[in-house]
Amino acid sequence: MCGIIGYVGRRTDAGVLVVEGLKRLEYRGYDSWGVACKTEEGIVIRKDVGKISAVNPSDFLQPSSLAMAHTRWATHGGVTPENAHPHVSCDGKVVVVLNGIIENFEELRAELAAKGHRFVSTTDTEVIPHLIEEEMKNEGQRTEDLGQREKENAFPGPRSQVPSPSPDFAAAVRRACLRFEGRFGIVAMHADVPLLVAARTGSPLIVGVAEDGYFIASDTPAFIRSTATVQYLDDGEMVVTDGQSILFSDLRTGEEREKREIAITWSAAESQKGEYEHYMLKEIMEQKQSIARAVNQDIDQIETLARAILDAQGTFLVGCGTAAKACMAAEYFFSVIAGHHVNFAPASEFKLYHRFLKPESLLIAVSQSGETADTLEAMKIAKSKGAKVLAIVNAEGSSIAREADYTLHINAGPERAVASTKALTGQMAVLLLIAYAMIGKLPKGRTRLLETAAAINDMLNPRYTEFIETIAERIQQSSDLYIIGKGWNYPMALESAIKIQEVSYVHAEGFAGGELKHGPIALIEKGTPCIALVGNDEVRTDIVSNAIELKARGGFIIGIAPARNDVFDEWIKVPDVDTAQAIVNIIPIQILAYFLAVKRGKDPDMPRNLAKSVTVK
């Protein structure tokens, strides 16, 4: 969701640093932006609706060693400059940015208004600086002795480094956070104190450890050009830094927490577009390598996880959006390959399954970002019943990865386009590998997937993408598009619809081929584009028959299949890869969705109303 970056340290170009970092968070999706810099004249704030990419970082060259910036994705309150972050207290000294939702903001707003606080926005976020300001007033009234105040929730770094007002500020932030309900990540600064203070409950925040100071951000690309060393802020924790020293603590008790420094394994160059016009196309093409990286797993770990699934009394797969479609495909992998039953549920619906959970159950949570709110909630429910959790994620050090009992990384590398592509195929590759391990045929599974990666490398050539572009040109004016599949191609039909919807804004729907006669076929008329996902498997004849039914009603049939069929008006050839067919069949759809977006004048990297990481429920 929202992008956050803050910096405090010895550099004097903090404003430039945070603006440049904010631009590297554009993939998260947003509608407005804002920057706050602490200068000799006080805190200077600039914010507006629109794109931060249009802002020149040199506009923020005014000397500053403390700054923070934010991109907002509207939840409470419309898209206006007043609602953009940062938000400020009445006295103009407390400045805050938020990722998440303060669910009890209306109650807090009424309480603060009754005490004379004035609000200028309609957001939930604005209650935060006002409440911190109020808590600082209360602190001053509660005790006049600074030594006693330092004893209570003070910044415990070297006292010579911390100005005397800082204990008030850090303690006030903590007390304010304890009153909030909901999932949030907060970063705050004060006009009189050279500190960044941050806290999280649900929404991710990561510390970047640089030689000249500290960054606090919602994702590592924000500061990757300055440092590849991070410290992770866990749920229910707070961090305070003056740029020289840093303190992590329990948000509720104030107890100090020790943190390891961890090196990020990918480079800044990996997160750039390079020769490609858009991240989405770059990430589609990277599947030449990313699937092979997903297969490069520790054999002993894969076999251990396979045994855990076999030994579990009830295994559940959960994910959201595209990750959910990987879970649905895995239901077929485990059934067809391993002869083993697992249960899929969208993570947002999983709370209704708690009655089936017991300590012997296993939850497999699948996520690209590792920060998806509904998936984290499903994990919490499973753990409350004593069940074990396996996480399959792309983001190293993410909340889901850290909270799981077992974690497998798909090693896809940074994925910046909002529409997930290479993460999906990496997730399916890992799940397919586990299915083979469950029947003692892990080497066969590895060979199958490496052969698939090689076939994809051959498939993704310029002539191939140019051919798909011509199909996109032909159907770009269509208002409706339908995709059918059967077996593991059924969840890929659903995923195909997601991809086309989210980047091109064409109305698209995916169906199980056999369900056509139960209603959807009424939507077909002359020229309606219909895509059939086909493999050389036991359901091939059925799905071709369904395609014939669509053509008989006037449908324009685009076949994605290893072999040509007379029913196809256009044939997009894919390699025949047996059990990995779902992986290769989805890739032409990704390319088609991309070109549909471009030809319709849409930005495929940043679809409207969407965010890369959905950290609120």
Reply yes or no on whether the pLDDT at 295 is more than 70: yes
Pick from 418, 441, 460: which residue ends a domain?
460
354 and 434 share a domain?
yes
Query: The tokens of 439 are what?
Result: 């029947």
What is the average per-residue pLDDT within 242-248?
95
pLDDT digit string (tens) for 85-144?
999 999 999 999 999 889 999 999 999 999 999 999 999 999 999 999 999 987 655 544
**Residues forming beta bridges with residue 49, ordered by sequence position:** 32
Average pLDDT, the chain: 90
487 and 511 share a domain?
yes
- CB 322 within 8 Å of CB 421: no
The residue annotated as part of the active site, out of 325, 422, 551, 612, is 612
Give the span between the Cα atoms of 217 and 230, in whole angstroms: 10
What is the average per-residue pLDDT within 520-540?
90
237 and 169 share a domain?
yes
318 and 446 share a domain?
yes
**Secondary structure (H, E, C), 40-103:** CCEEEEEEEECCHHHCCHHHHCCCECEEEEEEECCCCCCCCCCCCCCEECCCCCEEEEEEECCC
479 and 455 share a domain?
no
Q: Looking at residue 528, what is its pLDDT? A: 95
C-alpha dist (Å) from residue 322 to 45, 422, 497: 37, 11, 10
CATH number at residue 345: 3.40.50.10490
Give the span between the Cα atoms of 216 and 221, in whole angstroms: 11
Write down the pTM of the prediction.
0.77
Which residues, in sequence order, are CB contacts of 371 under 8 Å at separation 6+? 203, 204, 395, 398, 399, 400, 613, 615
- Among candidate residues 305, 319, 314, the one with its CA nearest the CA of residue 342: 314
Q: Looking at residue 378, what is its pLDDT? A: 95
Residues spanned by the domain of 48? 3-264
Q: What is the amino acid identity at position 6?
A: G
Q: 612 catalytic, yes or no?
A: yes
pLDDT digit string (tens) for 562-601?
999 999 999 999 999 999 999 999 999 999 999 999 999 9
Reply yes or no on whether the pLDDT at 151 is more than 50: no
14 and 72 share a domain?
yes
Reply yes or no on whether the pLDDT at 415 is more than 60: yes
Q: Looking at residue 405, what is its pLDDT? A: 95
**Does residue 614 fall inside a structural domain?**
no
Give the span between the Cα atoms of 539 and 12, in whole angstroms: 64
What is the average per-residue pLDDT within 25-32?
78
Q: Looking at residue 155, what is its pLDDT? A: 46
Give the span between the Cα atoms of 513 and 530, in whole angstroms: 11
- Percent of the chain that is helix, strand, coil (3-state, to 5): 40, 20, 35
Q: 2 catalytic, yes or no?
A: yes
297 and 218 share a domain?
no
Q: What is the amino acid identity at position 337?
A: I
Pick from 415, 439, 460: which residue ends a domain?
460
453 and 470 share a domain?
no
Reply yes or no on whether the pLDDT at 152 is more than 50: no
pLDDT band of 536, cuts 50, 70, 90: confident
169 and 81 share a domain?
yes
Q: Looking at residue 611, what is its pLDDT? A: 62
Instruction: Give percent of the chain with pLDDT exceeding 70.
Output: 92
Reply yes or no on whether the pLDDT at 166 is more than 60: no
The residue annotated as part of the active site, out of 2, 37, 177, 530, is 2
